[in-house]
Structure 1
Amino acid sequence: MHKWIVTTAAAAVLAALAGCKSDSSDDPAPAAPAPTPTPAPEVVTPDRINLSLIGRYSSGVFGESAAEIPAFDAANRQIFIVNAQKGAIDILDASNPAAPVLIKTLTVEDIAPGAVINSVAYRDGLIAVAIEADERTQPGYVGLYDATSHTLLDSAVVGSLPDMLTFTPDGQYILVANEGEPSDDYSVDPEGSISVIAVSDRTLGTVSSASFSSFNAREAQLRESGVRLYGPNASGAQDLEPEYIAVSADSTTAWVTLQENNALARVDVATATVTDVLPLGLKDHSQAGNGIDASDEDGVINIRTWPGVVGTYHPDSIASYTAGDQTYLVTANEGDARAWGEDNDLYWAGDASKGFVEEFRVKHLVHTGGFDRRAGEDLPPQLRALAAGALLDPSVFGYCGATAADPGDCRADDQLGRLNITWVDGYLKDSSGAPVLFDASGNQNAAGDRLMYSQLHAYGSRSFSIWDADGTLIWDSGDAIEQYLASDDCRLGSDRSIPCATYFNSGHDEGDAFDSRSDAKGPEPEGLALGKLGDKTFVFIGLERMGGIMVYDITDPRAPAFVDYFNSREDWILDPETNLAAAGDLGPEGLLFVPADASPTGEALLVVGNEVSGTTAIYEIEQITE
C-alpha cells in the first residue's frame, strides 16, 4: 500500500496574509514569517508487486486484431486502442477502470480513404497515429489529433508501412518506424526508414527521413557482421525493416529494432541520420540455461539444450531506461519469419517471382530423399535453386545420430524434426558466400547437390534481453520463461488456480492446446512496457502465444529478478472462437504502464491490448512492502 505524507494549505495562507498592509500607512508592515516548506509525498519503493485484473473492454471480435496498441490520456481518462479490424482507434472512457466503455471510434478516412491505423501515441493533449496506406507499399501517413475533441489538427506523409510511432520525451518530435515491407509477391520492395517529424504549436512541421541509403554499398560488410540481409534482389535499404522505437531520456538518440534483420538501428534524432546498424548475434541453445522445448508432438515438456541449434533474437518491442547514468535497452525477442506469397499456388508450383518463404521444418530440410518430395507443397523455389537436398554436419549433430549421409534420429519428431527454422542461414559457405556442396554420401564435391548445415537457426530466443547503447548483450533471460511456465509455481486465470504446465506452450487461438507452440517460437515474448515504482524499474512482458504478462525487476540491468506472472485467460479447454465471452484475454500485443499519479484509481495500472480476443484489459499493480 502507498504511504503519503498529508500536507495542509498553511503555507499558502501565510503567504497571502503577508501581502496585506496595516491600516496605518505610517506603520511599517510586519515582517512576514518564513513560509513553511511543503514536504514532498513519500516515495515508496515496493519490495514486490502483483498484477490483478480490475477491468476489461471486449470488442466481441475474435482473431481480427480488434485490440492492439494502447495509449492513455490522464486528463480525460481515456484509453485509445488500435482496432486493426476497423482500421481505426477505439476510444474508451476509463474513468472507472473496472468498467471501461467505448465512447467513440476514430477513423482516418479524412486523411486517406482505405487507410488503416497501425499505432497510436499520446502526449500533452495530442494523439498521434501511424496510418498505413490502402496499398501498403505506398507512402503512409501520420495524423495528429486533439485528445479532447478528437478533431484532426494536421497530417503528414511518411514512409511505406508506418508500423509504430512515439513522441520523444521532450515532446519536440514524433518518430515513426516505416517498415517498408514488400508486396506479397516481392515484386515491389520499398525502402525502410525512420521519419522524424517536428511538433510545434499543435501542428506537424518538417518531416525528415532517416534512411538506410548509405548502407547500400555496404551489404557484404553488414552480412559479415551478422546483420540478416537476404530478401531477393534487395538492396540494404530495401531489406532493412524498422519495427519499433526506443528513445534516450535526453531525446537525442533513438534505437530501432530491425526485426527480420536481427539488428538495431541507432538514429541521431536532431539530424535524422541512421548512424549505425548493430547486429545482435545469435543465442546458443547448446549452453546450459538456454534450452528450448523443440517439439509439439512428443506429448511432454522437454526443455533441454540442443548443440548446433541457435536462436535469432529477432526483437519486436524495445524500450530504454537509465541505470547508473547509462542507457540500457530492453527487447522482447519474438522472432519473425518472412513468408511472402505463402498463399500463392504459383509460388509453391515453383515460380520464385511470386514470393519468398524462408521457414522450413528440420525433418523436411534434411530428409535423405532430398527436397523434391516436398515440391508443390511447402518447398520454397529459392531453396530448390540452391540444391536438391541438405545434410547435417556429423561433427555437430552426431549426438542425435547424424552421419555424413544420414540425419539419423535428429529429424525424429521427438528430437529436432518438428522445429521450424530458416533455410537461409546455417549451411556451409565459401569465402564468396556461395554454398559449399556435398554429394548424397556426405563428401564435399563441387558437382554435388547437397547443402551441409552446421547450424540450425530457430526464430526468436524465447526470452527478453537487456543491451547497452552499442547493442552489446548485457543480460538475457535464457530459458527462464519456458522453465517457469513448466513449473509447479506457475498458475493461470485471474484467480491463479489453473496449473500452467497443463497448458504449457499453448496457442492463443485454440483450446486445450498443450505444447502446440514448442516447435515454433514457444511462448513468444512480443510486447513490453517499463514502469518506475519508487526507486525500482520493472519490465512487463506480454507472451503472445501462451498469453499473460511476465514481470521482472530490472533496476540492476546485470541482475534482473523475476517478480510475477499473471495470465487472465479464463478458459483453456473450449474453442475460444466459439466461446469468446468465456475465454478472457488472448494474444497480448501492446502494453502501456500508467503511473499512479496519472491513474483514475490512484494506483499504478497496466493496460494491455489483446489482438486475438479483441479485449483491452486493465490490470492494477499492487505494490507490496514487507
Structure 2
Amino acid sequence: MRRFLLFALSLTIGITSCKKDKTPGEEPDFFVNEDAATFAEIGTIDIGETGAAEISAYDPETKKLFVVKNENEGLPNQVNRIEVIDFKNPSAMTVISDIGMEPFGGAVNSLTVHSGKLAAAIQAGDKTANGKIVVFKTSDHSVISQVTVGALPDMVTFSPDGKYIMSANEGEPNATYTIDPEGSVSIISVNENYAVTTVNFSSMASQQNALMQKGFRIFGPNSTFVKDIEPEYITISSDSKTAWVTLQENNGIAKIDIPSKTISNIFPLGFKDYSLDGTEIDPTDDNKAYAAAKWPVKGIYMPDAIAVLESNGIPYLFTANEGDAREYDTFVEVKRVKDKTITLDPTKFPDWAELKKDGKLGRLNITTTLGDIDGDGDLDELYSLGARSFSVWNGSNGSLVFDSKNELDKKTVEAETYDDGRSDDKSVEPEGIAIGTVGNKKVAFVGMERADAVAVYDLTNPASPVFLKLLKCGDAPEGLLFIPAKDSPTKKSLLVVSSEGDGVVKVYTPKTIG
C-alpha cells in the first residue's frame, strides 16, 4: 500500500500524526488511537446471491472496493465478474461499475490491489486447464497485462513491495478424477513485464515418505506427489523475499524463496488430539445443543487462509484450520463413524459398539484415508477434518507455537451463533484470517464460515493471542480484508467481511480513544 505525508491537521479527537526516527526520505507514519475491542458494524451492501461476495480488495487511490461476483455456475445465466463499489463512504456503499470475466475465462476466485493495480485470479472454463492472472488499472479498469498460470488459480496476492504477484494454483481434479493437474505456485515479476514462473513441487518429491510420517497427506486415487498437492492460500514476508503457502488437503505449509523462485521447505502440520484438556469437541449434530467432551479422535489441521506477523525476528504464521474433504463422483474420502463399512479395531476401541451410536461418535465424519495403522482393514485411529481452531506456527521451522483449542466453539456458543448442525463435520469452520494494526496493537481477525462470525484477537504477544470480541456478519464469511487507518477513506481502521453464502459485504470500525 502506498504511504503518504500527513500535513498539519486540525485537532480531531483520537486522530494524530506522529513521527518516528527514520532514514532520510522515509515518510512519517499515520496513527489513530483506537480500541480494538470496540469494532462495530458501520455499513453493509448486498451484491447478489450465493457466491456473489467471496473476496474483496480495496484501492486507496480511487477509494474503490472490488468484490468477486460468481453466481449460477454451470447454468445459462452464469455470472462471473468483479463488482466495483464506491467506498468513499463505507456507511453508504454503492455499486458503480463491473468488470466482466468473459474475455479471460471462467470464475474469478481472488483479488489483490497494489499501487493502482488490481490483479484477479481467473480459472479457465475447464477448471483443470491453466488459468490466468489479469492485471487491471483501478482507475479505468483497462487491462495492463494478462498471463497464464497453473490450473485453478484460487488465491492471488501482491508482495508488500509490489514487485511480485503470486498465485496459489490449486490444481483440483475433474469430477471423475481422470484428470488431476499439478498443484503449483506462480511468481509474476511486475517490473519484468509481468514475466511469470510457475513452480510445481517436484523438487520435494523425494521427501514424500518422510513428510507423510509427520502428517503430510498424499492420498488421491492413483496420485503422484506433484499432482496431489493443492496450494490454497499465500502470505508473504514484509521484505517480500519469503512466501508461505497452505497446502490444505495435504495438511502442510510450503515455504518459498521468492528471489530464486524455489520451494525451500514443506512443513507437515501433524494432528490435534481431541482427548486432551481444552480440546474437547461436540462430535454429533443430533443433540440440538453444544456438548463438548474428550473423545478418542484426532483433527487434521488442513488450514485455508494464512497470514504472517513478524516479531523479534520470528515469522509467526497464523492459520485458519478449516479442513476440506475430497468429494468427487468417483472418490469420496469421508464417512460417518457409524457407517457399516467402518470397522473399529476392538483392541484400540474396546467400547466400539457404543462409540458407533449417534449420540456418541456415530455421526462424526472422518476420513477413510488414515487410521489403519497395521494395515489389517480396521481403523486403529480416527481422524476428522479440520481442527476447529486457528493456530500459530513458527515460519522458520514449522513448529506449533499456539492453538486456540476449542475457544472458537465456546465463544460462538456464548454469542448464540454456533451451528450445532455442523458439530458432526468441521464445527465453526475457521476459514479466513487477517492481521492488522489497530491503534498500537497487532490484531487478528478470524472468520468462521459456519458460525457467521468473526473473532477478534489481541496479538500483543503473538505466541499467546487473547480473545477480544466476536462480530456477527453475513452468511458464510470467506474474505477478510483489513484496511489500515492511513489508507482508509474514514482515516480509521476498517474491517471488510465478504460472505459468499448471501452475497453481503459488511464493514466494521473501532472507536477512537481520547
**Could you say what secondary structure the match of 1:452 adopts?**
coil
Q: Is the 8 A contact 1:257 1:317 kept in 2?
A: yes
Match of 1:614 among 477, 496, 503: 503
Query: Map of 1:133-212 to 2, 5 A cutoff?
Result: 133-200=124-191, 204-212=193-201
Q: 1:528 aligns with which of 419, 429, 433?
A: 433
**Cα shift at 1:49:** 2.1
2:447 is the counterpart of 1:542: yes
2:301 paired with 1:313: yes
Q: Which string of whole-angstrom CA distances, capped at 9 and with x for unpartnered residues, describes residues 102-158 of structure 1? A: 11111122334xx22111100000000001000001011110100001011110000
Quote the residue 2:92 is aligned against: 99
CA contact (8 A) 1:263 1:280 kept: yes
- The 5 A counterparts of 1:250-261 are 250-261=239-250
Q: CA deviation at 1:232?
A: 1.1
| Counterparts in 2 of 1:391 and 1:521: CA distance versus 1, 3 Å | same
**Aligned residue-pair number:** 487
Change (3 A) 1:206 1:504: closer
Distance in 2 (CA, whole Å) between partners of 1:103 and 1:151 is 16
- Whole-Å Cα distance in 2 between the matches of residues 107 and 43 of structure 1? 38
**Equivalence for 1:335:** 323
CA contact under 8 A between 2:14 and 2:512: conserved in structure 1?
A: no
Q: Does the aligned pair in 2 maintain the 1:606–1:621 contact within 8 Å?
A: no
SS in 1 for 2:362: coil
In structure 2, C-alpha distance between the alignment counterparts of 1:123 and 1:530, rounded to whole Å:
17
Unaligned runs of 5+ in 2: 1-11, 19-26, 72-78
User: How many Å separate the matches in 2 of 1:48 and 1:131?
Assistant: 35
Is the Cα contact below 8 Å between 2:35 and 2:438 reproduced in 1? no
Distance 2:13 2:309 in 1: 24
Distance in 1 between residues matched to 2:29 and 2:268, nearest whole Å: 44
How many angstroms does 1:159 deviate by? 0.4
Cα distance per residue 1:58-80 (max 9 Å; x no partner): 1242xx31101110011211100
Q: Distance in 2 between matches of 1:41 and 1:136?
A: 43
Q: Is the 8 A contact 1:605 1:619 kept in 2?
A: yes
Aligned equivalents of 1:2, 1:472: Cα separation in 2: 43
Distance (whole Å) between structure 2 residues aligned to residue 116 and residue 44 of structure 1? 38
* Partner Cα separation in structure 2 for residue 538 and residue 4 of structure 1: 19
- State the distance in 1 between where 2:157 and 2:30 align: 31
Is the Cα–Cα contact under 8 Å of residues 301 and 323 in structure 2 kept in the other structure? yes
**Tell me, what secondary structure is at the counterpart of 1:156?**
strand
Counterpart check, 1:454 vs 2:380:
yes
Q: Deviations over 1:331-372 (max 9, x none)?
A: 00001000011xxxxxxxxxxxxx2110100011xx4xxx3x
Task: Measure, in 1, the Cα distance between the counterparts of 2:513 and 2:282.
Answer: 34
Corresponding position of 2:337: 362
> What do the CA deviations read for 1:263-288 (whole angstroms, capped 9, x no partner)?
00111101111111110010010110
Q: 1:281 to 1:423 in 2, by over 3 A?
A: same
1:363 and 1:5, CA in 2 relative to 1: closer, same or farther beyond 3 A?
closer
Superposed CA offset, 1:494-516 (max 9, x none) = xxxxxx1xx532xxxxxxxxx11
- Which residue type is aligned with residue 244 of structure 2? W
Note the alpha carbon deviations across 1:193-231, whole angstroms, 9 max, x for none.
10000002xx84221122111233443232223210001
Task: Looking at secondary structure, tell me which structure has more strand per residue.
Answer: 2
SS for the counterpart of 1:481 is helix
The reply on whether 1:504 has 2:415 as its aligned counterpart is: no
Q: CA 1:45–1:325 in structure 2 vs 1: closer, same or farther (change >3 Å)?
A: farther
Q: Which amino acid aligns with 2:357?
A: A
Post-superposition CA distance 1:451-498 (Å, at most 9, x none): 2322110111110011111211100000001112223xx2xxxxxxxx
Percent pairwise identity: 39
**1:281-300 deviation line (CA, Å, top 9, x unaligned):** 10010110011111100233
C-alpha spacing 1:44/1:107, structure 2 compared with 1 (3 Å): closer
Q: Please report how far the alpha carbon of residue 5 of structure 1 lies from its aligned counterpart in structure 2 after TM superposition.
A: 4.7
Inter-partner Cα distance in structure 2 for 1:245 and 1:42: 27
Distance change >3 Å, CA 51–CA 240, structure 1 → 2: same
Sort the Cα spacing of 1:213 and 1:6 in 2 relative to 1 into closer, same or farther, 3 A: closer
The 3 A distance-change label for structure 1 pair 163 and 290 is same
Between structure 1 and structure 2, the one with the greater Rg is 1
Q: TM-score normalised to the size of structure 1?
A: 0.75
Could you tell me which residue of structure 2 aligns to residue 551 of structure 1? 456
* Partner Cα distance (1:104, 1:4) in 2: 33
Of 284, 302, 307, which aligns to 2:291? 302
Q: CA offsets per residue over residues 21-60 of structure 1, 9 Å max, x none? A: xxxxxxxxxxxxxxxxxx9678455554222111111124
